[in-house]
Amino acid sequence: MKKKLILDLDTGVDDAMAIMVALADPNVEILGITCSHGNTPLENVLKNTLRVLKVCNRLDIPVYRGCAEPLLAGKLHAGDFHGKDGMGDVPDADAPGLELLQKEKAVQAMIKIISENPEEVSLVATAPLTNLALAVKLEPSLPKKLKALYIMGGNTESRGNTTVCGEFNFLADPEAAHIVLDCYTCPTYIATWEFSCRNSLPWSFCETWLAQDTDKARFVEKISRHTRKMVQTERYQKELVAGPGFNSCDTYALAAAINDTLVTESEQVAVSVELAGTHTRGMMVLDYMGLLNKKHKAFIMKKIDSEKFKKMLMDALK
C-alpha cells in the first residue's frame, strides 16, 4: 500500500523541496496540502504551493487555504531569508491562479481526510502548527485516527534561529505548538533545528544536485538563489550548530515520513513548549526528569543515513 500523507506547509524554498521529494516517490500518495502562515503571508504560500505542483505536473493534488495568522502571537515571517514572496522573489507570470484552490478550508479538510482514512494517514507539518491546533480543538479524537505525525520545528539545546532560544516554526505560534505537543498522542517524530544543522549536506552535493539538466532542477536553482546567498552571511553562520553546509530543514521531516529507514538514531522523551519566558518563549522543553507527568513521548530525530537522503533529493529533481 502507498503511504498516505497530508502535508501542512508554509511553502517557502525548503517546503518546495519537501513537496518535490514526496512527489518523486512512487510509494507515496499525497491526499491534500493544507497551507498556513509562516515563511511568508498566506496568499503567497498558496501561490507558491500551486507553483511547485505545476512544475511537477501535479495540479491534481488538492490544496486548501488554512490559517493566515497565529492563535495569539504577533505575525512572524521569514522574508529576509526566503525572499518576500517565500520563493526567492523570482515571480512566474504563468503561475497558476488561486481559483484552483479547494473551496473547503484546511482545518475542515484535515479532519475529513484523516477521519475517512483512520490510522492510515501520516501528517507532515513543516509550518507553524496553527492548523493542527485548531483541528484538534474542533475534533479532539483526531490524533487517535492518525498513523503518525512528523514535525519540523523546535529545538533541543535552546539554540534559536529567530530569537535567542526560539526556532522559527514554534516561535511563529507558540500556543499552537504547545497544544499540538500536548494533544497529539499518536506516534510523533520531530526534526529539530539542531538536528537539521548537524545533518546538513556538503555544498559540493548541492551544486551537483542543482546542476541536473531538468526543468525541476532549474526551478529549484532559481528559487533558492536568495536563500543560498543568505546562508553564506555571517549572521547565519553563527546560527549553525555544525559546520557550514546545505540545510533544507523541512525536507528532513518529510523524508523521514516516507522512508522508515532514513533516521538511524533518535531518542524518546516527553516534550512541551515554553510560553512565558522573556528569552525562551517558543523554546521546546525536553522533560528528561518526568516532571511534566506526560505519558506521551515524542521521538526526537538525531542522525540520518545521509546517502539515502541524498538519493531522495537527487530523485526529486529528475
In the block, residue with C-alpha cell 518526568: 290
Active-site residue 94, yes or no?
no
| Of 106, 11, 25, nearest in space to 53 by CA | 11
CA-nearest of 290, 299, 305, 303 to 267 is 299
Question: Cβ(206)–Cβ(246) under 8 Å?
Answer: yes
Give exposure, 181-209, as e/b (b: 16+ Cβ within 10 Å): bbbbebbbbbbbbbbbbbbbbeeebbeeb
- Of 8, 10, 14, 85, the active-site residue reads 10
Q: What SS3 string covers the chain?
A: CCEEEEEEECCCHHHHHHHHHHHHCCCEEEEEEEECCCCCCHHHHHHHHHHHHHHCCCCCCCEECCCCCCCCCCCCCCHHHHCCCCCCCCCCCCCCCHHHCCCCCHHHHHHHHHHHCCCCEEEEECCCCHHHHHHHHHCCCHHHHCCEEEEECCCCCCCCCCCCCCCHHHHCCHHHHHHHHHHCCCCEEEECHHHHHHCCECHHHHHHHHCCCCHHHHHHHHHCHHHHHHHCCHHHHHHCCCCCCECCHHHHHHHHHHCCCCEEEEEEEEEEECCCCCCCCCCEEEECCCCCCCCCCEEEEEEECHHHHHHHHHHHCC
| 273 beta partners | 284
Catalytic residues: 10
